[in-house]
Structure 1
Amino acid sequence: MQNDETSAGPRLLGPADVRRLAAELGLRPTKTLGQNFVIDPNTVRRIVRVAGVGADDVVVEVGPGLGSLTLALLPVVGRVVAVEVDPVLAARLPSTVAEYAPGVAARLEVVPADALRVAELPGPAPTALVANLPYNVSVPVLLHLLETFPSLSRVLVMVQKEVADRLAAAPGSRTYGVPSVKAAWYGTVSSAGSVGRTVFWPAPNVDSGLVLLERGQVARDPDARAAVFAVVDAAFAQRRKTLRAALSGWAGSATAAETVLVAAGVDPRARGEQLTVDDFARIAAARVTITTFGTS
């Protein structure tokens, strides 16, 4: 099928386009950087549609690669800030956009950097994160950007299916764990569908999933985040144990853990996978209160 630019928008990258660009760059996709490039235009259109972004959005895209998703985003949003760790890909992206979507090329800003180390971005504050995240660092990148940019109100990321299931898992489910709770700290997380392997080049040996996160209306105290996350890490480090036992190291002893849990209104016999993010927040707050004022 011919992939010409029409009134519906810029040309998007198909299999032949991706392979041509890769050949021009002498590119061999590496597992180290989690490089699997989307070769299906319908997939990137779907991602943009599900993301629900529009003309007022400043979108952060992590790992734009050869530009498949970038080209689908640019006609829809006000600005795309593409963070790319591979210097060759970062240098090439503007010329690819100029070739395939000249009418919206001015909306693109490329930041050649490791997303895990990004502390600020040029221009207006970002409002959305839409990305095909590198699978080997997907959760750390997601959590880092949510922490660093509280202006992000909406997130739609494509990650490994197993990771997508964990991020969107509810308390009590088999896949509920540290990523589930930490993502829920920032907002409401839900599964937004699955993606097959054949839409990528090279095809990965795992399926993919879309995860949607919508920032909560009530902002959480950023100063409490580290304390809450420490409880979460401790609770799931020994997830088969009761919270009284699992949090003994964190609290100083099993008795101290029980005191904190009771003060927080949490059953000491419960396990971490049964608790919501609000439960963990109450536990962290109770410990601060007890440490500061003691028990009555």
Structure 2
Amino acid sequence: MSLLGPAEVRELAHKLGIRPTKQLGQNFVHDPNTVRRIVRAAGLAPDESVLEVGPGLGSLTLALLEHASQVHAIEIDPVLAGALGDTVARFAPEHTGRLTVIAGDALRVSLEGAAPTALVANLPYNVAVPVVLHLLGTVPSLRHGLVMVQKEVADRLTAGPGSRIYGVPSVKLAWYAESRQAGKVPPSVFWPVPNVDSGLVAFTRREEPAEDRRAVFGVVDAAFAQRRKTLRAALAGWAGGPDAAERVLRAAGVDPGARGEQLTVEDFTRIASQQRARVADPGRVQQ
């Protein structure tokens, strides 16, 4: 089995008439050592089923097929989706039976019949956060993963409370999983060369809190929509006024004068729970 280098990537792109577009976030990895590094960092077991989003020309796909029992590759570009099987047949004919190509948008396609256990992908910069959160929310079989994203996005996804870059992506990923940064990737390993560094984010799914996810995410969105304001002010519209917000916050054990960037996902969960209790029994939450 061989992996794609710069010559193979350009040859395949030329053959398919592919001109990488910013609209689809197409930056193809052409360095075999980088894809090997990604697969190693993903910590895949031999019997795992992997979900890959945006396989492109197949650089990472080929490396994944060598280490996993099955790879489900979702590709939005119909030309690339149609060619991926042929690429695998050419460079890794012994693994063609392990590949399933799904043509479509990762935010909309159905994975019915598939139960991938790991997400490993070089994600398009412009959709990285919504794709990760959508898949964790809709594919319960996913237990862990490693994604390559813009370094700035990696920083935001893994930021902790108190950081100035801690925000909605940080909290929502923390709802689903424990995450950490797993290294930086230079622009030189891509074609075309992006003008930013990339970062690897590793995550392991954790048990989700018992509260309704949509309710908690509603609090998170409201808190960070006006992140410079105190929670008493930022959650006023959500709670039905600043006084109501303060009562809910105090009942949840959260300082009304704090800001969203200071709260953990558990804090947001308690706030949502107290609001639900207040709506169900208006006299229950007292100042």
Return the TM-score normalized by structure 1. Answer: 0.94
User: Partner letter of residue 245 of structure 1?
Assistant: A
1:45 aligns with 2:36: yes
Q: Which residue number corresponds to residue 160 of structure 1?
A: 150
Q: Which of residues 276, 280, 283 is equivalent to 1:292? A: 280
Tell me which residue corresponds to 2:23.
32
Question: What does 1:1-296 align with in structure 2 at a 5 Å threshold?
Answer: 10-118=1-109, 120-216=110-206, 218-221=207-210, 224-296=212-284
Q: Distance in 1 between matches of 2:39 and 2:25?
A: 21
Deviation at 1:123, TM superposition (A): 3.7
Amino acid of the residue matched to residue 268 of structure 1?
A: P
> Does the Cα contact within 8 Å between 2:209 and 2:269 map onto a contact in 1?
no
Aligned AA (2:221): D
CA positional deviation for 1:232: 0.5
Stretches of structure 2 that go unaligned for 5 or more consecutive residues are none
Percentage of identical aligned residues: 67
State how far apart, in whole Å, the 1-side matches of 2:125 and 2:94 are: 32
Distance 1:89 1:82 in 2: 11
CA RMSD of aligned residues (A): 1.0
Residue 202 of structure 1 deviates from its aligned partner by 0.2
Structure 1 letter corresponding to 2:83: R
Distance 1:252 1:94 in 2: 55
Residue 155 of structure 1: how far off its partner (Å): 1.5
The aligned counterpart of 1:7 is none
Residue identity opposite 1:54 in structure 2: A
Given residue 258 of structure 1, which amino acid in structure 2 is its aligned partner? E
Distance, in Å, in 1 between the alignment partners of 2:187 and 2:158 is 20
Q: CA deviation at 1:124?
A: 3.6
TM-score by length of 2: 0.97
**For 2:65 and 2:182, how far apart are their aligned partners in 1?**
21
Is residue 185–residue 199 contact of structure 2 (8 Å, CA) maintained in 1?
Answer: yes
> Which amino acid in 1 is paired with 2:50?
V
Q: Kindly tell me: are residues 133 and 169 of structure 1, through their superposed partners in 2, closer, same or farther at Cα, counting changes over 3 Å?
A: same
Displacement of 1:261: 0.4
Displacement of 1:104: 0.9
Cα separation, 1, equivalents of 2:145 and 2:269: 23
CA-CA distance at 1:175 after TM superposition: 1.1
1:70-125 C-alpha deviation (Å, 9 max, x unpaired)? 0000010010000000000000000000000011111000000100112x315441
Hey, which bits of structure 1, 4+ residues long, moved more than 4 A?
none
Q: How many residues align?
A: 284
Cα offset, 1:219, TM superposition: 3.6
Task: Measure the CA separation in 2 of the matches of 1:179 and 1:21.
Answer: 35
Q: CA deviation at 1:184?
A: 0.4
Matching residue's letter, 2:267: D
For 2:47, what is the secondary structure of its paired residue? coil
Contact kept in structure 1, 2:158 and 2:179, CA below 8 Å:
yes
Q: Secondary structure at the residue paired with 2:203? A: strand
